[in-house]
Structures are given as structure tokens and as C-alpha cells.
Amino acid sequence: QVQLVESGGGLVQPGGSLRLTCAASEDISNIKSMNWFRQRTGQGNQREMVASIDSDDNRKYRDSVKGRFTISRDPASNTPVLQMNRLKSMDTGVYYCNIEAIRERIGGTYIPKYYWGQGTQVTVSS
């Protein structure tokens, strides 16, 4: 079973920056998208998508992070990277690396397989 491990989290003051990376225990083939989710403090168990990059390099961002966060692909490891700038206290939470791959193609669609990391804590506080 492929394991994903996030790193780069920590404590930062408001306005600061962090860079999150994601390492995979082995290569993942047929990747459809790479994503970062977060579970914000006080929001229960709900995970929200923060940023996404697909196989065509199309990027999507949550409205609250647009202009501050940038998702990219590490070409060496083929895993996602999240550059977070101008961090706010509302960004505090556990950040998860997620990769969606194709488990099986069926006609014009496919059955997905999802890989998740264990999460890394990001705390924005003065």
C-alpha cells in the first residue's frame, strides 16, 4: 500500500509563509489529480479542499486562499507541493496530501483510487 507523508507544517505568525511537501513511498501511476485538503480547528471532522492540480496542470483553489496559496507538482517525486503565503489565523488546521489515480478504466470513465497522507499541523498564531 502506497503511503503519503506530508512535511513542512509548523507554527508561524500571521503574514508568514510555509511550504508543504508530500512524499510517496513508491511511484503512483495514472494520476488524475493532486490535492491538498485541510481540517480546520473548530470545524469538526470536515475536510475541505484547499488546492488542486490535475494531469493537464489545471489548478483550482478555495476562494479563501486564492492569491495566497500556490499548488505545484514536484517533478522529481511527482507529488504535490503547497506554497502558503500571507497566512492567516483561519488557515490553522491539519493539512492533508491527497492523490487521485485511476484504478480501472471503464469505457469513457474510470474507477478512482485515492491516497491520503496522515496530515501535518499548521498553526498560524502570534
Looking at the predicted structure, is the pLDDT value of residue 64 above 80? Answer: yes
In the numeric block, which cell numbers belong to residue 124?
498560524
Give CA separation, 84 vs 2, 68, 87, 118, in Å. Answer: 26, 6, 7, 19
Tell me the mean pLDDT in the region 12-18.
Answer: 98
- The pLDDT mean for the chain works out to 95
pLDDT per residue as tens digits for the range 92-103: 999 999 999 999
Q: Tell me the pLDDT band of 18, cut-offs 50, 70 and 90.
A: very high
As a whole number of angstroms, the distance between CA 83 and CA 72 comes to 8
Record the cell numbers describing residue 89, joined without a space: 489565523
Question: pLDDT grade, residue 118 (50/70/90)?
Answer: very high
What CA–CA distance (Å, rounded) separates 89 from 34? 25
Task: Give the tens place of pLDDT for each residue, 27-52.
Answer: 999 999 999 999 997 777 789 999 99
| CA-CA-CA-CA dihedral for 121, 50, 19, 80, to nearest 10 | 110
CA geometry: angle 110, 66, 119, nearest 5 deg: 60
- Report residue 1's pLDDT band, with 50, 70 and 90 as the boundaries: confident
pLDDT at residue 113 tops 80? yes
Which residue from 84, 95, 96, 80 is spatially nearest to 32, judged by alpha carbons? Answer: 80
Average pLDDT over residues 88-95: 96
Confidence at residue 95, expressed as pLDDT on a 0 to 100 scale: 98
